[in-house]
Amino acid sequence: MENKFGGRKVMIQALVGSHNYNLNTPQSDMDWKFFVSPTFDDLYNGVVFSDASQAETEDYSAHDIRQFSNLIWKANLNFVEVLYSRNISYNPVFAGVFKIRDTFATMNMPAFFNATYGMHKQKMGDFHKGTAKTNILVETFGYDTKQALHALRLLYVLSRFVEFRNVGQSMWFENDEPIRATLLDLKAGKFTETEFLSLVDVWHKNNWSNVQKVFLDEYTPDLEMKSVLDRFVKSIVKDNLK
C-alpha cells in the first residue's frame, strides 16, 4: 500500500461512506480514506500530499497526516467519521486517539453544526444536477435521489446528535430504525420530489430551533484538546520521518 502513495507510510486506513452509515445497497461503492505520513522530501519541498481515485466499485482519498488535526477540528462529518469507522486499521501509535475519539469528535461542535448544515444546503442545491454515476437517477426520477438521501441524512445526524450526544451513534442507522427505511426508500425513488421536500420541511419545523440552540449555545470550541491533537500529530510525523 505504501508503494501506492510514493513510499509514504499509511497511518490510517478507514472505511467511510454509506457502508459506514449502514445505508449501503448492493450497488454502493466502497469508500476509503487514507492518512499517510510525509517523507523528508515532502517537508523539504513544502509538499502536502493528497490523492484521490474513483473506480467502478471502490473510491478512495488520501491525505497527509499533518492535516488530520485541522480536519477533525473543522469538524466536517466526512472526516470526523473516520474516528468511527467500522472497518479501520491504523498504526498502533494512534490507539490513544481512538480511545478518546468521542472527546476529539466533539471538541468543536459549533463548527460541526455549521459544516454539516452547510453540506446539507450544498446537496439541496445540487440534487437536480446529477453526476456521472447518478445521471441515471435524475433521468428516472426527475432528481438525484442519492443526493437527496444525503441531504436528509445530514439533517437527521444533527437531530440525532441532540438526542444521543454521540457522533458515532448519530451517524449510524440500525437495521430496524424507521429513519433508515425512509432514507433507503428515498434513494430507491419511492418518494416524489415534492414528498422529499416535505420531509425536509418537516425536519426544520420539528428540529431547527432546538438543534441550533444545542450546538451553538451548549458547546464551545475546546482549544486545549485541539492543542493536544496538534502535538500528538507533530510527534507522529517526527517519529515516522524517512
Give the per-residue pLDDT at 1: 59
**β-strand partners of 88:** 14
Q: Give CA separation, 84 vs 53, 70, 173, in Å.
A: 22, 17, 13
Mean pLDDT of the chain: 95
Sign of CA dihedral 88, 92, 93, 98: positive
| Alpha carbons 221 and 100: distance in angstroms, whole number | 17
Residue with cell 476529539: 104
Helix (H) or strand (E) segment spanning residue 34: strand 30-36
Percent of the chain that is helix, strand, coil (3-state, to 5): 60, 10, 25
Residue 58 has pLDDT above 90, yes or no: no
| Alpha carbons 143 and 129: distance in angstroms, whole number | 8
Q: How does residue 2 score in pLDDT terms, banded at 50, 70 and 90?
A: low
Residue 161 has pLDDT above 80, yes or no: yes
CATH 1.10.1760 assigned to domain 2-104+222-239? The reply is no
- Encode pLDDT of 115-160 as tens digits: 999 999 999 999 999 888 889 999 999 999 999 999 999 999 999 9
Residues carrying CATH 3.30.460, the chain: 2-104+222-239
Q: How many CB atoms lie within 10 A of CB 57?
A: 8
Q: What is the pTM of this model?
A: 0.94
Q: How does residue 49 score in pLDDT terms, banded at 50, 70 and 90?
A: very high
| Alpha carbons 20 and 23: distance in angstroms, whole number | 8
- Encode pLDDT of 90-113 as tens digits: 999 999 999 999 999 999 999 999
How large is the average pLDDT for residues 220-237?
A: 96
- Encode pLDDT of 170-206 as tens digits: 999 999 999 999 999 999 999 999 999 999 999 999 9
